[in-house]
Amino acid sequence: MTPQEFVIKVTLLYNSNSGIFSTKINAEELIPVGLDNLHKALFIFYVLQLDYAMKSQILYRGANRLYREKENFFTPDYLSIQTEDQLSKIIKEYLHPRYINEAVKRYIQNTYTLIHQYDGNPLNLFDNTESCMEVLGRLKSFRGFGPKIGNFFVRTMINTFNYQYNDIDLMLPPVDVHDVRIAYLMGFTDTDQMTQKNINNVKNIWSKACIDTSNSWLIFDKALWLLGSEGKPKTYEEVLKLLD
């Protein structure tokens, strides 16, 4: 199976809600119901920046519980008046990040930047531009919004708010350990090591395969994460079984 054939197969199964793809639990599907656009964007902004070095299911389950109990938590007005100790206590209790000090720093610094550069509204990051690459450039002002979290954030915002960009294929998909492992299991790479060289290689493999087959990486990326995180394949045969 080539990367192109793999992309076609995975995307088709995802779109038909088959097998492992019958339950959608990507970030886009885990936003609390009933939010207006501003508060959807704020929830995405604050939760996604902590979606690293931990199980996503734990983060989003805790974030939804935190929203139910303190619905104003994920707002710059609330976060900007909290002390480091107050933030640390709440984040530990609900969100359980592996690196609590980094999480607190991100919330403090990114809240300041969001308020002073974008009037406290993540939607303003997407205003006055027709280029997703320009949006990515704007994200460099925020702590922790690098190639993985930054691209993941843009993907989630595009899928949630239906932004349209002609240069979307110039933006490479965010890649995590699941994406790298599946590429290796399928024989598309020689290693599953999370080196920068291998990560970049995997990004380009998935990007090219999506472009070649006219499949949106915005959808394929969601499907690939489900395949890896929920299916947990450890061999080539296990991947194929999940796609059967």
Which of the residues in the chain have pLDDT under 50? none
What is the 3-state secondary structure of 115-140?
HHHHCCCHHHHHCCCCCHHHHHHHHC
Query: CA dist 84 to 80, 88, 114, Å?
Result: 10, 6, 18
Residues 114 and 98 in one domain: yes
Amino acid identity for residue 193 in this structure: Q
Amino acid identity for residue 244 in this structure: D
Residues 147 and 33 in one domain: yes
Query: CA dist 216 to 50, 106, 173, 239, Å?
Result: 25, 30, 10, 21
* Number of structural domains the chain divides into: 2
| Predicted pLDDT at 203 | 96
| Predicted pLDDT at 52 | 87
Q: Of 139, 167, 195, at which residue does a domain stop?
A: 167
Q: Of 167, 183, 215, at which residue does a domain stop?
A: 167
Contacts of 193 (CB under 8 A, 6+ apart): 180
Residues 187 and 219 in one domain: yes
Q: DSSP string covering 142-180, please?
A: STT-STTHHHHHHHHHHHHH----TTGGGSPPP--HHHH
Q: Of 129, 152, 167, at which residue does a domain stop?
A: 167
Assign residue 125 the CATH number of its domain.
Answer: 1.10.340.30
| Predicted pLDDT at 236 | 96
Residues 58 and 144 in one domain: yes
> What is the pTM for the complete model shown?
0.92
| Predicted pLDDT at 116 | 97
Residues 139 and 205 in one domain: no
Residues 162 and 210 in one domain: no
pLDDT tens digit sequence for 159-203 = 999 999 999 999 999 998 999 999 999 999 999 999 999 999 999
| Predicted pLDDT at 76 | 97
Could you tell me the residue range of the domain that residue 225 belongs to? 3-23+169-242
